[in-house]
Amino acid sequence: MKKLIMILMMTITGIVYSQNAFWQATSYKGAFPVTDNTTSTDWTYGWSNFNPENTVYPNTQLTLSGDITQNITLSGVILLQNKVYVTNGSTITILPGTILRGDASTQGSLIITKGSKIIAEGTETNTIVFTSNQPVGNRAEGDWGGLVILGQATNNQPGGVANIEGIVPTTNTQYGGNDDNDNSGILKYVRIEFAGIALEPNKEINGITFGSVGRGTEVDYVQVSFSGDDSFEWFGGTVNCKHLIAYKGVDDDFDTDFGYRGNLQFGLAVRSEQLSDAAGDSNCFESDNDAQGSSNTPQTAAVFSNFTIIGAKADGSVTLPVGEKFEKAFRIRRNSSISVFNSLIVGWEKGLSIEGSPVETNITSGNSVFSNNELIELPTNLVTATPQFFTTFFTQNNNDTTSTISDINWVDAFSANPDFRLDSTSTVSTGADFTNSKFEGGFLSVSEKTFDFEIYPNPTQNYLVVNSSRNVEIEIYDTQSKLIKTENSSESILDLNELNSGVYFIKIENTTKKFIINK
């Protein structure tokens, strides 16, 4: 049954397509396609929440506090109290629909330590939510700590191991190693709201922090809202991410440091004129190689494509002066070498800020690429120490600055229930390009979109719940591609009592997922 692990590839108009690849080639720029007048093409539909301040959550039913040293499965409504460390190689499994409410008085936080895992796999209609324990009307950014995941992938810190920022250092706060394929678990259909508490003065943790998380980890459909610090921050590592939402955070939306080298596609950032950090500190993207701007390797070189970045004045109702606190859509500095493609930027004072000659060198050498992006009605498109960059780099890389906000023609980006998809008349509905060599590993074409289904608990002991949208054939294989079990059902509880502990694969149509049996 080698077809289970084979990569089916074909070449179409010079682009390699693979149903197991990361990148999805699009015709449109930004994170959203042209609307089809249904909800099927809106990837935020069903699981995201753009009004968490007024969402009524149930009261907590039990409390999670103290170190977790063995496998645990959570469900229901849980009070997250104190700093909860998942240690000893344990796995915390959070079932779909679970709500964890962070306690402000004890700085409730969840930290997944090196070698441990989090399996938080919600669904489009049954999202897993981390949120404030405050009632409606009293919630604010920084109500609780946040989610921290520490892995064993490489970073460029001296010695390769460091302590994550914002928490008093202990052996449980260390991240880093030499396994870029390290697996810290699954985050899928997850919301994180009102996190980012200051654990110490000027030492906030983020909505979600990734410390040397490896590419074996799955991160897809994750929203961070009203974070008191960065929404997402990566410290080294190689984890790939899709479908990210940073909503009305205080500091940066996407912050990359210390040799982070993942691929990221389909991201949305929305800012509020009422929430910002110190002057010049609140940016959408901020990227450093390290705090000193050294040449330490691996170099920070993440690749982003198809991001929609909506600044505080994008709707035309807010006029921001030059020097506003959230002024830069992209702040690339300190020898960073990230690349950005096919993205839509609107509503900021400055588009791209290139800070320092090492970053300019990374760009002229082709290590860092900013290409095929739309920068809409920005007072300043490019900030750099070398003026000729505007002609020699910026415009020659197909970055368009001629469109207007009205040319974008969103369906309804600024209502209480926003729809960020494009009208068919939008100038950014075509023109995306995926020919740059930064897009490694082939593409997942739209027609080959994987069949979605959910499995839980994972890891498990004696059973596995399989839930899909229709009646399907379910196949289970071992690591040698031997077919173990088949069943036809749309919702099935598979009896695994006859199977030994180990790694197995469940396959439905063109999608394969890994699960673990621990007995």
260-275 tens-digit pLDDT: 999 999 999 999 877 6
In a domain, 4, yes or no: no
Written as one string, the DSSP assignment of 65-111 is: -S-B-S-EEE-SEEEE-SEEEE-TT-EEEE-TT-EEEE-TTTT-EEE
CATH of the domain at 476: 2.60.40.10
Q: Is residue 252 located within the same domain as residue 340?
A: yes
Q: In terms of pLDDT, which residue wins out, 480 or 495?
A: 495
Q: Is residue 145 located within the same domain as residue 254?
A: yes
| Banded model confidence at residue 63, pLDDT cuts 50, 70, 90 | very high
Q: Is residue 513 located within the same domain as residue 407?
A: no
What average pLDDT does range 283-298 have in this prediction? 96
Query: Which of 390, 410, 443 is at the close of a domain?
Result: 443
d(CA 444, CA 492): 28
Domain of residue 483, residue span: 455-517
Would you tell me how many other CB atoms lie within 10 Å of the CB of residue 1? Answer: 13
In a domain, 40, yes or no: yes
In a domain, 10, yes or no: no
| Banded model confidence at residue 314, pLDDT cuts 50, 70, 90 | confident
What pLDDT, on the 0 to 100 scale, is given for residue 293? 97
Query: Which of 443, 474, 497 is at the close of a domain?
Result: 443
d(CA 323, CA 279): 7
Instruction: Give the pLDDT confidence of 198-215 residue by residue, as tens digits.
Output: 766 666 789 999 999 999
What average pLDDT does range 237-264 have in this prediction? 96
Q: Are strands 162-163 and 174-175 parallel, antiparallel or unpaired?
A: antiparallel
Instruction: Give the pLDDT confidence of 417-462 residue by residue, as tens digits.
Output: 999 999 989 999 999 999 999 998 777 654 444 567 788 898 898 8
What average pLDDT does range 163-188 have in this prediction? 95
Q: Is residue 259 located within the same domain as residue 288?
A: yes
Task: Tell whether the model's pLDDT for residue 249 goes beyond 80.
Answer: yes
Q: Is residue 438 located within the same domain as residue 460?
A: no
Q: Is residue 333 located within the same domain as residue 471?
A: no
Q: Is residue 431 located within the same domain as residue 463?
A: no
In a domain, 269, yes or no: yes
- When the pLDDT of each residue in the chain is averaged and rounded to a whole number, the result is 87
Query: Which of 384, 418, 443 is at the close of a domain?
Result: 443
Q: Is residue 278 located within the same domain as residue 424?
A: yes
What pLDDT, on the 0 to 100 scale, is given for residue 480? 65
The structural domain count of the chain equals 2
d(CA 61, CA 101): 10
Please state which of the ranges 452-456, 482-486, 488-492 shows the lowest mean pLDDT.
488-492
Task: Tell whether the model's pLDDT for residue 279 goes beyond 50.
Answer: yes
In a domain, 5, yes or no: no
Give whole-number Cα distances, 471 to 45, 467, 492, 513, 514, in Å: 23, 10, 10, 18, 20
Q: Is residue 246 located within the same domain as residue 102?
A: yes
In a domain, 136, yes or no: yes
What pLDDT, on the 0 to 100 scale, is given for residue 273? 74
What pLDDT, on the 0 to 100 scale, is given for residue 9? 36
In a domain, 21, yes or no: no
Cα 240 from chain centre: 8
Q: Is residue 432 located within the same domain as residue 469?
A: no
Q: Is residue 469 located within the same domain as residue 340?
A: no
What pLDDT, on the 0 to 100 scale, is given for residue 449? 45
Task: Tell whether the model's pLDDT for residue 315 goes beyond 80.
Answer: no
Q: Is residue 167 located within the same domain as residue 42?
A: yes
Task: Tell whether the model's pLDDT for residue 490 goes beyond 50.
Answer: yes
Tally of helices (H runs) and strands (E runs) in the chain:
3, 39
Task: Tell whether the model's pLDDT for residue 43 goes beyond 60.
Answer: yes
d(CA 260, CA 274): 30
Burial 136-160 (b: 16+ CB within 10 A, else e): eeebebbbbbbbbbbbbbbbbbeeb
d(CA 349, CA 339): 21
Task: Tell whether the model's pLDDT for residue 187 goes beyond 90.
Answer: yes
Instruction: Give the pLDDT confidence of 108-146 residue by residue, as tens digits.
Output: 999 999 999 999 999 999 999 999 999 999 999 999 999
Q: In terms of pLDDT, which residue wins out, 332 or 201?
A: 332
d(CA 191, CA 341): 26
In a domain, 17, yes or no: no
